[in-house]
Structure formats: structure tokens, C-alpha cells
């Protein structure tokens, strides 16, 4: 057996023993040994994508939903560089990835050899661990080294502390395809019992016990973990729960889903200064919430693994791994006041949306309200996640995910495909037209690839709608060219180019039916940027008036 084949076979075998279930591969020559090893292994599901950027975001989606490391393989050169945005997203979001980049052996580097670039520590500080494996050779001891390294890489990506991407740069010397006989200088076999090295995880951390108070608030942002326990404790303590859509805690009697409008009403924010706020995950969507956090009495950030302190407002007074929220004596006046404002604001914005046709916030609200229990909804950054945050009513049974780590508009189609492939149950995605067009290659799917059951809903306002809600909108003349960026692309044609089923919806009553179907499919909703901006102002004004009335 040649060394390249041996290393690849051992590496893939060991990763599968560790628990690897999915591998995403972009085609190329230098990565041939890894491609063949993965293809031959029935324990892993293989996904092939020609565009490395799309491939890597597919892996991010798979790992985000699956919660386990997903391996990503490419050839040498710019192929590896095209993984970079997804590696950054995985780094910021704590999504476990094993990035295996094939490379040339040292004697070919820096010589002008084709498709050869410096891949050593290519992703900089965006990876948890980098290893230059070294060109495989046939000599005793290599197998233990490769297997031990694979276990360490898998464990480092998985966590439980600080999960994220790991980069293995794998140099192969030719021959790259199997030749000769099966002989090798030592046994290539792994441990029959399981992984070569078994990692033991540390004991649970000591909890921070808060003094009892009824005037507390639980805020849940993207990337929160262990939310259920905190939501139950907040419920017992009579605290409102303010959860972003992807925080996964927007359900139950204590959910205050219109918090963006409540806290955007200065009189309400002033009258509702809490004794303590506990934040889980990373809230980042609502400016009023972030401003209010700055003036919260005690602000405790739960940072489960202590490697990051999600505190963009620099208002944290304590950072703790685990917090115990105690039951407190007293009445429910605090909670009632939040709940009263919640239902007033919700009633007011619902009324504005109901009169708005199939507008962007109404689409977000109705989509989130319509999807069957057990569904996954993957949201694009930009307005869709904000519209969900502002317009979505509390509910159970819907999982919402988004690439909020770096909040890029890149790779969203692919990430949604990946998440759908790791999800059992129907999957949907909601994104803007620029986000969709940015990752059109996410629709490229070979006939033999596992096909996700995913309905992509694209809000087409012919450009970047979010900029119409920002101060840049006042720049009348250059605005359209610099920010609006209309493109005039017919999304139906984009769908047709890849044979993706396509439906156009222009009435709220037709939405539910349009979502039906199987496999990857596209639903387009047309909106207008200017009227969308006016609608958001109308929602804000109506909500604030309604909130003020509850204070009188
Ligand atoms: N490039 C990347 C990779 N990520 C980004 N977040 C941006 C640029 C800056 N950006 C943020 S939102 C946006 C841009 C360009 C416009 C998005 O437009 P669209 O997807 O149509 O959504 P809409 O704003 O209309 O909701």
C-alpha cells in the first residue's frame, strides 16, 4: 500500500470511530486519497459539492444542526482559501468542523508548482487547533501517531469546552491513487473497542447563586445552550423571558416577544429597570435591547465554557458558567406589567401587518406561525432574522437557526441545505434576494447527492432592503448604487437553471400552499424596499403608542 492511501484510510477510519457521520468533499486531485477513503467507508454519509465556499457552508449547516463535528475536504490551493468564510462563521458560532486540506509535499512548496499556496495556519486565529500532519511514510509508529492525532482533532472540534473548527493540513506525495499490494510495515488496524484515545471530560462547574428577586429578566440570544433549565427557573421566579428567534426560548407564558418595541419606548424602558438580567448566548439583533442592557442593575453573562464573554455592551458585572435563579417571594406585578405591554404592542403591530398585504414582517410572522411542529427554519441575516425577531409570535415546536456568528450574507443557501440534511422533519429557509444570489451555487446538487427536504423562501425586494432602514438611506443620490444595489435578476430563471421547483406568491392566503412540496424548492415573495421601510416606522409608532397607553 502506498503511504498516501494508508494515511487517508487510517485517518477516515479513526474519525469514524470517534463518531464522525458526515463528510463534505469538493473535488480535486491532491485530495484523492481522502476522497477514496471516505467514499469507501459506509459509516459516513458523503456530500460532494463543486464550489468550496458552498461545500464549507453546507458543513456548517450540518454541524450546527447535528451538534457533531463534520469533516470538510478539499484539494490544495485557492480551494482551501474558499473555506475561509465558513471557518470564520464556525469559529464565531462555536460550530465543530474538521477541515482537512490536501497539500503538496514540502519539496514542491514555494517553487512555482501548480496549485500550491501557503496553507500552514491559513485560517489564523479562527481555528481551535492546527496541525501539519507531515507527509506520510511507511515506518513503524506512524499509525499510532495518525490515530492519536485524529482523536485529538475530533475531540478538540467537539468540545465540550469551546467547540469550533480544527484544521489539519494533509500533505500527500504521489502516487495518489492505490497501487501495489496491501502490505504495510505494521498493523493499520484501529482499536476494536472504539477510538484509539478516549477523552474524559471534566466535572460540572460550580453554580453562581443569585439573591432572590422578582425584578429580574432572562435574555436569550443566538448560540444559547441549556436554555430549557433557565426558562423554567425564570418562570418560577416570575421573570419575563426575552428571546431572539434563534435563542430557542420564545415560548410559554413568560415570553415577551415584542421586547424590541417595549424597550424602544423610552417611558417603558425607564420604568422597567431590573435588579438583575441574566443573558444566555449572544443577543445582537435589537438596538433597544442592547441600549437597555447598558442600564440594567446587575448584568450576568452566562458563558458556559468561559472561553468567550458575549458582552458587546460591556455591561456585564459577572461572568459565570452556571447560574441558579432562585424562587423569590412577592407578587407578579413586574411580570404583569411586561405582559400587558407585550399584548398591547403585539396587537398594535399585528394590526399594522394585517393591513400590509404580503409584506416582509408579515411574511416572517406568518411563516413562523404556519410551519408544522418539528420544523426547522433557517434564517438569513439582514432583515429576515430581524423581522422574525420583531414580528414572530411565541410558539413551541419550531427550531430557528441562523449564521449569526459572523452574520454574513454568504453561504446561507448551503448552510440551510446542510442544516436540513441533519434535521429530521421538514425544513424551511427565509432569506433576502442578495443573500440568495450570493450563494446560488448552493443549489448545485449532483444527482447522487443526499437531497434535503428544504423550502427556500426568498424575499425579493431587488437589493439590500436593510439599508433603507439605516441612516445611509438619507444619502439620496448615491444610495441606490452604493447600498440599494438593485440587480433585476429573475429568480425563476435562477431556479430553472438548476431544475429547482419554483413558486411565486403574492398573497398572504397563498403562502401555506406554496410551501408544500418535497426536496429543495424555491418560493419567491416580491416586496418593495421603500414601502417596507415605511411599514417598519408604522409598526414602531403603533407599538410605542400602545405600550405608552399601558403605563398610564
Ligand atoms: N457581505 C457579506 C458576506 N456579509 C454581509 N453581511 C455584507 C456583505 C453586508 N450586508 C449586510 S445586509 C446586506 C449586505 C450586503 C444586504 C442584504 O440584502 P438581502 O439579502 O436582499 O436582504 P434584505 O436586506 O433585503 O433583507
Give the span between the Cα atoms of 150 and 24, in whole angstroms. Answer: 17
Whole-number Å distance, alpha carbon 409 to ligand 1 midpoint, is 5
Q: How far apart are CA 515 and CA 524, in angstroms?
A: 10
* pLDDT band for position 476 (cuts 50, 70, 90): confident
Q: What is the dihedral of CA 38, 199, 248, 309, to 10 degrees?
A: -120
Kindly indicate the confidence band of residue 32, based on its pLDDT and cuts at 50, 70 and 90: very high
Residue owning the nearest CA to atom 25 of ligand 1: 465
Long-range contacts of 333-336 (CB under 8 A, 24+ apart): 333/214, 334/214, 334/215, 334/238, 334/239, 334/240, 335/214, 335/238, 335/239, 335/240, 335/254
Q: Is the CB of 89 under 6 A from ligand 1?
A: no
Stretch 312-319: mean pLDDT: 90
Element (H, E) at 209: strand 208-209
Ligand 1 atom closest to the CA of 466, numbered from 1: 24
pTM over 0.90: yes
Rg of the chain over Cα atoms, rounded to whole angstroms, equals 25
Whether residue 86 has its Cβ less than 6 Å from ligand 1: no
| Span from the CA of 438 to the centroid of ligand 1 (angstroms) | 9
Mean pLDDT of the chain: 96
Is the dihedral angle over the CA atoms 130, 62, 413, 279 positive or is it negative? negative
Length of the chain measured in residues: 552
- Asked if 462 and 486 count as a contact pair (C-beta separation under 8 A), the reply is yes
433 CB burial (10 A radius; 0-12, 13-18, 19+): buried
484 CA to centre of ligand 1 in angstroms: 10
Check: CB of residue 401 under 8 Å from CB of residue 62: no
How far apart (Å, rounded) are the C-alpha atoms in residues 371 and 502?
A: 19
Instruction: State the Cα–Cα distance between residues 374 and 355, nearest whole angstrom.
Output: 30
Neighbouring CB atoms inside 10 A of 205's CB total 12
Which residue of 284, 384, 412, 435 sits with most ligand 1 atoms within 8 Å of its CB, as the best mutation to test the pocket? 435
Q: What is the pLDDT of residues 431-460, one digit of tens each?
A: 999 999 999 999 999 999 999 999 999 999
CA-closest residue to ligand 1 atom 16: 464
Q: Whose CA is nearest to atom 18 of ligand 1?
A: 464
* Helices and strands (H and E) in the chain: how many: 19, 19
Q: What pLDDT, on a 0 to 100 scale, did the predictor assign at position 304?
A: 83
3-state secondary structure of 521: strand
| Confidence (pLDDT) at 295 | 84
Helical (H) or strand (E) element with 389 = helix 383-391
Regarding the beta carbon of 409 and ligand 1, being less than 6 Å apart is answered yes
> Cα of 471 to ligand 1 centre, how many Å?
16
Distance 382 CA to ligand 1 centre (A): 5
Q: Where are the beta strands (DSSP E) in 281-439?
A: 298-302, 318-320, 323-324, 375-379, 398-402, 427-432
Ligand 1 pocket, residue 394 CB under 6 Å: no
ipTM, 2 decimals? 0.99
The per-residue pLDDT for range 347-386, each reduced to its tens digit, is 999 999 999 999 999 999 999 999 999 999 999 999 999 9
Q: How many CB atoms lie within 10 A of CB 82?
A: 17
52 C-alpha vs ligand 1 centroid, how far in Å? 21
Amino acid at each position: 500500500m502506498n503511504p498516501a492511501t494508508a494515511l487517508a484510510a487510517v485517518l477516515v477510519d479513526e474519525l469514524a470511530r470517534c463518531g464522525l457521520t458526515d463528510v463534505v468533499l469538493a473535488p480535486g486531485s491532491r485530495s484523492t486519497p481522502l476522497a477514496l477513503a471516505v467514499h469507501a467507508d459506509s459509516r459516513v454519509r458523503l456530500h460532494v459539492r463543486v464550489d468550496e465556499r458552498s461545500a464549507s457552508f453546507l458543513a456548517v449547516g450540518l454541524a450546527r444542526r447535528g451538534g457533531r463535528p463534520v469533516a470538510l475536504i478539499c484539494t490544495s490551493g485557492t480551494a482551501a482559501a474558499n473555506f475561509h468564510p465558513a471557518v470564520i462563521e464556525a469559529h464565531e458560532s462555536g460550530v465543530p468542523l474538521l477541515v482537512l486540506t490536501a497539500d503538496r509535499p514540502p519539496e514542491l512548496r514555494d517553487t512555482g508548482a501548480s496549485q500550491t499556496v501557503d496553507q500552514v495556519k491559513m485560517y489564523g486565529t479562527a481555528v481551535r487547533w492546527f496541525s501539519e500532519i507531515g507527509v506520510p511514510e511507511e515506518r513503524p509508529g506512524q499509525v499510532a501517531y495518525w490515530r492519536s492525532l485524529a482523536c485529538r482533532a475530533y475531540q478538540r472540534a467537539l468540545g465540550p469546552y469551546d467547540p469550533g473548527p480544527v484544521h489539519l493540513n494533509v500533505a500527500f506525495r504521489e502516487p495518489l491513487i492505490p497501487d501495489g499490494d496491501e502490505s504495510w510495515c505494521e498493523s493499520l488496524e484501529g482499536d476494536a473497542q472504539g477510538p484509539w484515545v478516549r477523552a474524559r471530560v471534566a466535572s460540572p462547574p460550580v453554580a453562581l447563586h443569585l439573591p432572590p428577586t422578582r425584578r429580574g429578566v432572562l435574555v436569550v440570544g443566538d448560540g444559547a445552550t441549556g436554555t430549557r433549565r433557565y426558562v423554567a427557573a425564570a418562570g418560577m421566579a416570575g421573570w419575563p423571558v426575552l428571546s431572539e428567534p434563534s435563542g430557542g426560548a420564545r415560548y410559554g407564558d413568560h415570553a415577551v416577544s415584542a421586547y424590541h418595541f417595549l424597550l424602544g419606548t423610552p417611558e417603558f424602558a425607564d420604568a422597567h429597570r431590573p435588579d438583575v438580567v441574566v443573558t444566555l448566548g449572544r443577543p445582537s439583533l435589537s438596538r433597544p435591547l442592547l441600549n437597555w442592557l447598558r442600564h440594567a442593575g446587575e448584568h450576568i453573562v452566562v458563558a458556559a465554557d468561559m472561553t468567550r464573554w458575549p458582552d458587546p455592551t460591556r455591561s456585564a458585572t459577572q461572568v459565570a458558567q452556571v447560574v441558579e435563579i432562585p424562587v423569590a417571594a412577592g407578587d407578579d406585578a413586574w411580570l404583569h406589567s411586561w405582559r400587558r405591554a407585550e399584548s398591547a404592542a403585539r396587537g398594535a403591530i399585528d394590526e399594522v401587518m394585517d393591513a400590509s398585504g404580503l409584506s416582509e414582517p408579515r411574511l416572517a410572522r406568518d411563516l413562523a406561525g404556519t410551519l408544522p411542529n418539528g420544523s426547522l427554519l433557517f434564517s438569513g441575516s439582514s432583515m429576515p432574522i430581524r423581522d422574525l425577531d420583531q414580528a414572530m409570535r411565541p410558539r413551541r415546536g419550531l427550531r430557528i437557526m441562523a449564521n449569526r456568528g459572523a452574520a454574513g450574507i454568504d453561504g446561507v443557501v448551503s448552510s440551510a441545505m446542510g442544516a436540513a440534511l441533519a434535521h429530521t422533519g421538514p425544513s424551511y429557509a427565509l432569506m433576502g434576494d442578495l443573500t440568495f444570489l450570493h450563494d446560488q451555487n448552493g443549489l448545485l446538487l449532483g444527482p447522487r447527492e443526499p437531497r434535503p427536504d428544504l423550502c427556500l423562501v426568498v424575499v425579493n425586494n431587488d437589493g439590500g432592503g436593510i439599508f433603507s432602514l439605516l441612516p445611509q438611506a438619507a444619502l439620496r443620490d448615491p444610495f441606490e448604487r452604493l447600498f440599494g444595489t438593485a440587480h433585476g435578476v429573475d429568480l425563476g430563471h435562477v431556479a430553472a437553471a438548476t431544475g429547482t421547483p419554483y413558486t411565486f406568491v403574492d398573497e398572504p392566503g397563498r403562502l401555506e400552499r406554496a410551501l408544500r412540496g418535497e426536496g429543495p424548492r424555491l418560493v419567491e415573495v416580491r416586496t418593495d424596499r421603500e414601502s417596507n421601510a415605511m411599514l417598519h416606522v408604522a409598526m414602531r409608532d403603533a407599538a410605542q403608542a400602545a405600550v405608552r397607553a399601558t403605563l398610564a
